[in-house]
Every structure is written in C-alpha cells, then in structure tokens.
Amino acid sequence: MAENGATSGAHEGEERRDFLKILFGATAAVGAGAIVWSFGAALEPGEAARDQSVFDVDLAPIEPNSGISLRWRGKPVFIRHLTAEQVSAVEATPMKDLLDPVPVKQRVRPGHHQYAVVIGICPHRGCIPVGNKASDPRGPYDGWLCPCHGAAFDAVGRVRRGPARQNLAIPPYRFVSDTLIRLG
C-alpha cells in the first residue's frame, strides 16, 4: 500500500489513523471516568446522613451544674453547664497534676468558659463515662467517671486518674449566639 509513489500520503494516513485512535481512546476514557465517578459519588453519605453532620444545640435549658447527652454523628456528646465555682476549680488545678496537661482555655471557647462540650467516649477502651444525669456519680474530680475501668475526668473533660491517658476529645463546634452552638 505504501508503494506507487504515495509513500508520504500513506504515512499521513497512518498518522491520521493513530491520531483518531488516540482521540477516540481518550474520549472513551473520559466516559469511563464519568461512570466511575458517578458510581463513586453514589457511595457518599446521602442527604439523610449529611443532615446529621451539622447540628444546632440550644444551651439555654441546661441548668448550671447539670449536663445533657446527645448523639452527634453517631457519637455521644456531653454538654455541661458549669457553675462559677466549678470554673475556678478547674482553672486552679496546677498543670503538674494533670496526666494530659492542657490549660482550661483550650478546653472551652473564649467568653463561654461555663460550657464544656466533649465527646463522651473514654480514650482508654471506648466506654461511655457517666456523670451527666443528676443521679450519676461524677467521680472524685466533679466531672465524669468511666464505669469500665474507673478513669476519672474533671469538669472540662481532662483526665485526672488512669487507666486513661488522654483527655476526652472535643468535637468541632462554635457559638452561634450566647446560648446556641453549632456542632460540626
């Protein structure tokens, strides 16, 4: 085919063919990518699950020296309204007495020191500490007590007694107004 003096023509034809092949292959790959992407996107949490990810909580009904538990993204979240005495008690705790030393200002939001918001999962073995209900024991440090192995936390969720080695985690949240927080 490349004979009879049309060598360059045939060569051009081949180049054209290869170009078209690559162009076709690339277009088909775009299509395949779109299919993979849409099937992947379908595995993301749907709207119903996304609904749970951001949560407004009204703090006004929480009396001082009491707390509430709620579920956020499947995890227990504790919110405690501290009295002025409780705030000054945790602020007075010397750093050297803490197992996981963190100042109080890193455990609460500025201007809202009376509200402690923590994730209620003991960092030791994942049990849910008690201390939110009026009838619950709060442990020796007036915070939460883990019923499984006896870890004790103070009123802003810092660990004071093992076996846990870390403080209770803090969920991402911000104050929308003085008595309303947005979790997530």
- Give least dist CB 6 to other proteins, A: 11
Distance in Å, CB of 21 to other proteins, minimum = 5
CB-based contacts of 138: which residues, under 8 Å, 6+ apart? 131, 144, 145
When asked if residue 85 is in the footprint of other proteins (CB under 8 A), the reply is: no
- 10 Å Cβ neighbour count for 110? 7
Region from 13-21, 75-83, 96-104, 144-152 binding other proteins, contact rule CB under 8 A? 13-21
Judged by DSSP in three states, 53 sits in coil
Nearer to other proteins, 38 or 110 (CB): 38
Nearest approach, Cβ of residue 70 and other proteins (Å): 11
134 is a site residue for other proteins (CB under 8 A): no
Contacts with 87 (C-beta within 8 Å, 6 or more apart), sequence order: 104, 113, 114, 155
Interface mask (CB under 8 A) for other proteins, residues 39-78, using x and -? x-xxxx-xxx--x----x----------------------
Instruction: For residue 4, give Cα distances in angstroms to 11, 14, 116, 180.
Output: 13, 16, 89, 86
Which residues contribute to the site for other proteins (CB under 8 A)?
1, 10, 13-14, 16-17, 20-21, 23-24, 27-28, 30-31, 34, 38-39, 41-44, 46-48, 51, 56
